[in-house]
Structure 1
Amino acid sequence: MNIVPLALSDLELVRRLHFEIYGWTKNKDEFESMYVDSQGDLKAVGYLAKNERGEAAAYYGVFLCDLRVDGKFFFSAQSGDTMTHPDFQGKGLFTKLALKTYDKVRELGVDFVYGFPNESSYPGFKRKLNWNFPFKMKKAIRVVPCLPFGLGGDLFGMIDLAVLEAAGFRDIAEDTFGRANAIKGDCFAIFPDRTFEKKKYYIYESNGASILIKLDRLKIYIGFMNAEEESGYKMLFDKVFWVAFLTGRPALITYLSSWCHEFDFIKSKFKVSESLNFGYLGFDNNFSDHFNTLRIRYVDYDTF
């Protein structure tokens, strides 16, 4: 087994590995946009295990970002794709690749790695990599009664555009979207060189209140809601609810930690359940007290 640092020339191998494991993958351009910045350089750090035929057997990597914790910014990395081909599971590849990745990001000056492992990955992060898991994220779902389903995604998105424009939302695809500004300094993660797909991500801002959404075929995902008073949250909720209603999307979904300012309002309007564990691995001992009450939202996921 040959273990090598991730290179631009290996991205197609990683994409193929994703397909072989999950049965689906993004197209080449979409997949590479997650790993390559606007200058054509890798924005992910990771390691790839190749078998004797040069095929990808396993991959682990992280995405570099800045984190705001208690008003201070830290150079960090969000744990990204964790993939091991079924033919090579149980051989310790996940642990080997992760430890080599952590050694590399420490050399780059990263303070800690964090992430949201799924249920199958969680035991490995906890037992083999010694991650700390202070809390679970919350998943909030609001059902929207609407007919017909998927109306807005039809007709070349003309209905989507008309409804969003009438509601005061603007497409942020052309923006260099600074999340620190959009969330009024209450952000957690800031990914450099982040881009947003056109006709998919929209923001509404008015009188100190703002909301970021992502359109899916039958869902609207909320990246964040920010307001100074409950009346502001109600105004934002009403807007996104009617966008969902008029465009035929029967679900509003978001993820957040229970310490977010808007959590109580979300609980009053959405069905809330436990979601993925939030975990981290610090490279010194000065972070544990800061991580128990973090305000994290869906916009802080690399998958948003």
Structure 2
Amino acid sequence: MKFEFINKNEYLRRIQEFKELFMYCFNKEVSKEFLIWRYIKNPLDDLLINVALDNNKIVANYSVSPYTIYIDGKLEKAALSMTTMTHPDYRGKGLFPKLATDLYKRMEGDNYIAVTGFPNNNSHSIFVEKLNWNNIYEIPTMKLDLSRINKSNSPISISIINDSNFSLDYSKLINNKKNKIKVYKDLNYLKWRFKDNPANKYANYIILENNYVVSSIITKSFNKSESDIVEVNSLDDFSTKRLLEYIIDIEKGNGKKYINMWCHLNSSTHVIAEKIGFVNTEPISYFGVRYIKGNVSNLSNYNNWDIQMGDSDVY
């Protein structure tokens, strides 16, 4: 058995092995385009993948996807915990904890401060018990039953545009930090995460003011009857409310029955969503952190975070 951090050339050479291992582990396919988008085309250049090899064949892998985190008024290096895969014939040998521990050690040398993630029910206990993860929160899904909502009667006094190509000026929203811990989303990140994503098609509804985007809500279709709001970012509550009402009208017109979103309990957006009719329901998502370097214990306090569906690899 051999353990190896692989580079981008090696990853591309072995991409079929990753696809096959994914099928063995999850009984479904993952596309080559998605893997290249997530790991090769990430705007941040680091490739953080550790593999276990037996007879030069990948039998287990743990990967994280780098991102920039805004914390304590600074931008720091962090990463999102991604897919953990161990071939069924090699389970029970402790490969995943070793791969993760070694990867975290390497990241410490590269000045990463933390790994965050949303472990599922199968992996959550391993993350906490064997990898020293800290629970941050169990995030409920807020759901709106559109059958209980009448069409908005709000006058259309502002122009709403679908800028799915992110071609306008987002500088005011990008720099709207609000003293919260959050994934830092500059224009390169937004285009990569939402415009170039090969797995999902997103709509980005925005309000312009003096040629600046002052409010943005990003949505995607979940299935024939549901849509997800994956990002809400506004300079003021009026714009948030107006955009939400507009999107509700759009989704009702598209025949959708429900809209889902994540929304922090203590945020003004939660108050707006609750008044509209959103309620907490399932699924509930684990949200956790593994400290890598430095004193960043405030990461464990959910009240410090501005976290949204789009920060997860699932949505």
Do the two structures share a fold, i.e. TM-score over 0.5? yes
Residues 61, 96 of structure 2: 8 Å contact kept: yes
TM-score of the superposed pair, with normalisation by structure 1: 0.80
RMSD: 3.0
CA contact (8 A) 2:15 2:32 kept: no
Is 11-20 or 88-97 further displaced after alignment? Answer: 11-20
Aligned mates of 2:217, 2:229 — CA distance in 1 = 7
Amino acid in structure 1 at the alignment position of 2:111 = G
**1:27 aligned onto 2:31:** yes
Rounded Cα–Cα distance in structure 2 between residues aligned with 1:262 and 1:69: 21
Correspondence for 2:201: 200
Q: Is the 8 A contact 2:107 2:292 kept in 1?
A: no
SS of 1:168's equivalent in the other structure is: strand
* Structure 2 partner of 1:271: 279
Distance in 2 separating the partners of 1:107 and 1:224: 32
- Asked if the contact 1:169–1:204 (Cα under 8 Å) also holds between the matched residues in 2, the reply is yes
1:36 is displaced (CA, Å) by 0.8
The aligned residue for residue 11 of structure 1 is 15
Distance (whole Å) between structure 1 residues aligned to residue 2 and residue 172 of structure 2: 41
Please report how far the alpha carbon of residue 290 of structure 1 lies from its aligned counterpart in structure 2 after TM superposition.
4.3
Q: Distance in 2 between matches of 1:139 and 1:210?
A: 20
Structure 2 CA distance for partners of 1:38 and 1:301, relative to 1, 3 Å:
closer
Question: Structure 1 CA distance, aligned partners of 2:170 and 2:2?
Answer: 39
Deviation string, structure 1 residues 21-55 (Cα, Å, up to 9, x no partner): 2121232212321111279x965301111233x43
Q: Which amino acid aligns with 2:138?
A: K
CA separation of 1:179/1:76 partners in 2, compared to 1, >3 Å: closer, same or farther?
A: farther
The unaligned stretches of length 5 or more in structure 2 are 149-158
Amino acid at match of 2:173: N
Q: Which residue identity does 2:96 align to in structure 1? A: F
Find 1:170's aligned residue among 163, 167, 180.
Answer: 163
Measure, in 1, the Cα distance between the counterparts of 2:280 and 2:66: 30
* 2:49 counterpart of 1:46: yes
C-alpha distance after superposition, 1:231-259 (max 9, x if no partner): 43331221111221222233212224434
**2:223 counterpart of 1:212:** no
**Amino acid aligned to 1:99:** T
Q: What is the deviation of 1:230?
A: 4.6
| Structure 1 unmatched runs, 5+ | 147-165
Alpha-carbon shift at residue 217 of structure 1 (Å) = 4.1
The structure 2 residue matched to 1:184, chosen from 153, 167, 176, is 176
1:201–1:214 contact (8 Å) kept in structure 2: yes
What is the count of residue pairs matched by the alignment? Answer: 282
Which residue identity lines up with residue 181 of structure 1 in the other structure? Answer: L
Partner of 1:85: 87
Cα gap change, 1:283 to 1:37, in 2 (>3 Å): same
TM-score by length of 2: 0.78
Determine the C-alpha separation between the residues in 1 that align with 2:144 and 2:111: 41
Q: Aligned residue for 2:100?
A: 98
Contact 1:182 1:210 (8 Å CA) reproduced? no
1:262 aligned partner: 269
Other structure's SS at 1:99 match: helix
The alignment partner of 2:249 has SS state of: helix
